[in-house]
Amino acid sequence: MADDTSRSDATADKGRPTPKRGEKTADRNVFRKLGRFFREVVEQLRKVVYPTRKQLVTYSIVVLIFVGIIMAYIGGLDLLFGDLIRRAFGAES
């Protein structure tokens, strides 16, 4: 062996464990943390690609049509099952 020092011996001179990442710069001030959070939120919002007016109108129409179809489907099932229950239990309409 050319090198007699092992990895544990090389770090034993410090007398303390290596701090975790960010431990030395840990900020305990709540207001600084909030300020940093809001700055990062604004930074991320600048990266957002907003839809054009045409895309927005198209997507809105598609959603409204889809919701209408689902409402009709659920309403139809409600009428069907309601009628089956009335017939099963002999309720007079």
Mean pLDDT of 3-14: 58
Concatenating the DSSP letter of every residue in the chain gives ------HHHHHGGGSSPPPPTTSTT----HHHHHHHHHHHHHHHHHT--PPPHHHHHHHHHHHHHHHHHHHHHHHHHHHHHHHHHHHHHT---
The position carrying tokens 């009428």 is 79
Q: Which two tokens stand for residue 22?
A: 């960010």
pLDDT digits (tens, 9 = 90+) for 11-63: 556 777 777 776 555 557 889 999 999 999 999 999 999 999 999 999 999 99
Integer Cα distance of 8 and 32 in angstroms = 38
Residue 71 pLDDT exceeds 80: yes
pLDDT value of position 93 = 56
pLDDT value of position 23 = 54
* pTM recorded for the entire structure: 0.50
For residues 76 and 25, which has the higher predicted lDDT (pLDDT)? 76
Residue 1 pLDDT exceeds 80: no
